[in-house]
A and B are shown apart, each in its own frame.
Chain A
């Protein structure tokens, strides 16, 4: 019991300093990694540091997030019937993961159609109250594109393998992708929810030449603030009366009896 009281005192000290501790989106001392498969027509096995980690990983699949120790991981993709990672179809590549960060590793096509892998860092910084984050990533064998939200260009001339992002009022947006400077969608429109305290990430993947462009989406939690207090009463009607000084009781009773609730309501803020 004494321990818990001390913990409370410590927390109160934080409040006194005016700092409400944030809630971190990544576990203390760890890194988060998601893996997205964005190469059409190729089911693979994923080896991490030589060990089979994802079996029969299919195009459009999203794995994770995995909570990992910080460090550099070697990732190789093989045919799905391979016995080991000695003959990878992609990689091995090194993924350096730093503590407290969120990543998505994407196996995808370059603009010219060759397969590659890109390690994206997901922005998990805190969003403003009422806002969420939208990130768009071009991982398709296609030229530069414009990304539309609710009928207007939100991100223009996005090229493979780049990303753009914005914090928007939390809502569901009708998203579409056109070739840069054009208006006919090559992808979408699709409803994409953007929620407070999260980063919704939209990928264009596949190949324009092969006619298999597609959208993939994921969402990761951002850091958030936490309330420093809960002030949950306005009238004193549910108070413990027994230990209140006599004067307070008399005053309170007099106020209730003489003024009445309706009058008190006028006096009370909110």
Chain B
């Protein structure tokens, strides 16, 4: 039934794919401002940009770069570093927010339940560059969280599928990590952490298509030195890494592979998901 209402949106959203040869532009609404949305596919596959306005469903979300109070000095970049990706979870709603500065997190010890309603409700909140000891050049402090945490539809582990963001290849399989490298330039690396290992449907160097099931979101935090399983809250930690280059005034060229903020791309992908983009591929 819903499909009938969404047909006009689907027809528009269907044009917006990264790495499938149909890369085009899309737009997204963002409460941060229209400039925080991005549109044209940066994939070097075909990139015929649309100039028409389109309507996408909005949803409550805080602006990119606005972190939980007291959770870190944040960052300034509003770019969409991965236009056209699929939202990395198959089911909606999903909730992007902090795992530390929310109930069940170490910064809220008096509220021990990670299943608190506050965690499973809008608005979304950015947590790239949230306080961490790890270096992250894009953070104002030079240190911080390297991705965006996303809780699945409900507070249940091993039930909700993570899906591929674009056509690519599985290039890492760790104890709690799956990485997809996009086929299309700039060959972004998307890293998924905390999936249930036994549920993984992919193996190293498998090819994947946009929206393909990868594994179930869980609370897997790997194992310690004694071989004991460690746990975190139930969430997907989603990272995007992109190769970058900078030319200095003397002609010297520097390059680095850095984590970039996923939030703007996720807001855009979620809006398209709500409009019917990215059907799940088994």
Pair from one complex: no
